[in-house]
Structure 1
């Protein structure tokens, strides 16, 4: 998947979550959503860590 499209889909998903009122979600469903959100957040953090650990070439010392 293209980077720009993937980021747009992620942004759209987050926007959708922001429109929901968590106080209106039944407790069991809310608990399930929280678990899933934490799993997805961990996956996103893993991808951030992968990209953070990439070392760029030292352009001053080829």
Structure 2
């Protein structure tokens, strides 16, 4: 997947999360979502770290 498209999809997903009314999400579902969000955040942080360690010529 090209970089620009990937970033647009990531941005769109975050925008979708931002408009949800989390007070209406049942507690068990909210717990599941929090676990998944933390997992995805760790994956994103791993990619940031991977790119931070690259030495350009």
When normalised by structure 2's length, the TM-score is: 0.98
Q: How does 1:9-28 map to 2 (within 5 A)?
A: 9-28=9-28
**Max radius of gyration: which structure?**
1
Equivalence map 1:26-45=2 (5 Å) = 26-45=26-45
Deviation at 1:56, TM superposition (A): 1.4
Aligned length: 57
SS in 1 for 2:55: coil
Gaps of 5+ in 1: 58-62
Q: 1:5 — aligned with what?
A: 5
Give, in whole Å, the separation in 2 of the partners of 1:17 and 1:7: 15
The answer for the alignment partner of 1:60 in structure 2 is none
Question: Aligned-pair RMSD on alpha carbons?
Answer: 0.4
Say which structure is richer in helix: 2
- Measured in 1, the distance between the counterparts of 2:47 and 2:6 equals 13
